[in-house]
């Protein structure tokens, strides 16, 4: 199995597993708590939290702030995927969108990107590692709490 070096000193298999679990479970919870759907992200629906301020005095205001935080977490994930490689030999963005936004199977995704299912397996691992790296930027940009998905290589 070919491993694409992304220039990261990480355990690629463990990082890919971590990112996959995050996108399948945690991200789904973010969407539910944000009152959003996957299609909201794909359609370019923009969220504008302008004008919302929290002073900690009102429980309705606190709930709204929690919802906005979840929406911003969703946007951070979306932007991280949006900024993944989108080239013919590295169709990471398309792979991630097909698998985690459109919920296509590996076979359907392989057809979409024009690769065999076995080649998709390698590309998927690399896409998940690139996402794990990219999310670090976007969680800072949106100032949201998203766990670190990268798993460091064990020292020998």
The H or E element that residue 108 is part of is: helix 106-113
Chain CA centroid to CA 4, Å? 19
User: What is the spatial distance between Cα 152 and Cα 77, in angstroms, rounded to a whole number?
Assistant: 21
Question: What's the chain's length in residues?
Answer: 156
And the tokens for 83? 């900024």
84, 135 Cβ separation under 8 angstroms: no
Local confidence pLDDT in tens for the 156 residues of the chain: 445 555 558 999 999 999 999 999 999 999 999 998 888 787 765 544 444 444 455 778 888 888 999 999 999 999 999 999 999 999 999 999 999 999 999 999 999 999 999 999 999 999 999 999 999 999 999 999 999 999 998 876
């Amino acid at each position: 199995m070919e491993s694409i070096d992304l220039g990261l000193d990480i355990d690629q298999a463990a990082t890919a597993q971590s990112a996959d679990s995050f996108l399948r479970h945690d991200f789904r919870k973010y969407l539910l708590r944000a009152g959003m759907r996957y299609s909201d992200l794909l359609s370019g629906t923009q969220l504008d939290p302008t004008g919302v301020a929290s002073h900690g005095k009102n429980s309705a205001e606190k709930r709204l702030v929690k919802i906005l935080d979840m929406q911003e977490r969703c946007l951070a994930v979306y932007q991280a995927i949006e900024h993944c490689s989108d080239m013919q030999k590295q169709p990471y963005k398309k792979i991630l969108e097909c698998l985690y936004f459109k919920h296509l199977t590996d076979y359907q995704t392989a057809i979409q990107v024009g690769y065999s299912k076995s080649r998709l397996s390698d590309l998927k691992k690399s896409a998940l590692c690139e996402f794990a790296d990219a999310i670090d930027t976007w969680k800072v940009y949106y100032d949201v709490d998203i766990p670190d998905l990268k798993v460091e290589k064990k020292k020998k």
